[in-house]
Amino acid sequence: WMTAIALVPGAIGRGIDEGIVRGDDGALLRWSLVLAALSLVIAAAGAARHWFAVQNWLDGAFRVVVTTDAAVTSRGQEISRRFPTGDVVSVTTTDMERVGHVYDVWARFSGALVSYVVVAVLLLRASVSTGLVILVGAPVLLAMLSFIIKPLQRRQAAQREESGRLTTLGTDTVAGLRILRGIGVLRRFVRRARRPRRGHPGRTAPAS
């Protein structure tokens, strides 16, 4: 899919140079047919790529859910003692998407590498200097992007940790409310939680 897209500008350029500039109708027809064939390949390969990408995403993401569920079911008490509940829940809410994205992006990453080599070869045949700019410039640009990706990854890790803590807090709150209901003081707890703080009208006391 990506290699066919990369070949389209070359086919258009050859058609213009050989068919229009030189006035060769045969060459113009030939490169027009090549362009039409590339368009068909792009359409068919693009649809197939998307189908496999979605399948890979679902397979990778839900395998994480199934594996986590099997681990919790078979060793629930052990897991709860070693890891907070929020971390376990974050696996099925956050990590599953990241694992799915890895399988989704892998096909496009492989296609990008192949198309990169194809474009570099075509440019080297047309102009050595332009081809060297692509061969050298693309890895440098990719390395520069890492300086932007690393802060994003740190923020995502912090967000995941906070999400796990929030889930753990919610789980503990629900468990605590169940205990309060069992000993018959839930209504008193709710009234106390709704009582405004002294000196701060309208603000309620924390549930703790």
- Model pTM greater than 0.75? no
What is the residue type of 108?
Answer: R
pLDDT of residue 138: 80
pLDDT of residue 159: 74
pLDDT of the residue at 76 = 64
Please name the helix (run of DSSP H) or strand (run of DSSP E) that holds residue 202, with its range, or none. Answer: strand 200-204
The 10s digit of each residue's pLDDT in 101-111 is 888 888 888 88
Distance CA 137, CA 142 (A): 9
What local confidence, expressed as pLDDT, does residue 33 receive? Answer: 94
CB 8 within 8 A of CB 35: yes
Which portions of the chain are predicted below pLDDT 50? 200-208
How confident is the model at residue 102, as a pLDDT?
A: 87
What is the per-residue burial (b if ≥16 Cβ within 10 Å, else e) of 79-99?
beeeebbbbbbbbbeebbeeb
> Tell me, what's the pLDDT at 181?
67
d(CA 45, CA 110): 14
Provide CB contacts within 8 A for 167, sequence distance 6+.
85, 86, 89, 90
pLDDT of residue 187: 72
User: Residue 134: which residues within 8 A CB-CB, separation 6 or more?
Assistant: 116, 119, 120, 123
State residue 178's pLDDT score: 67
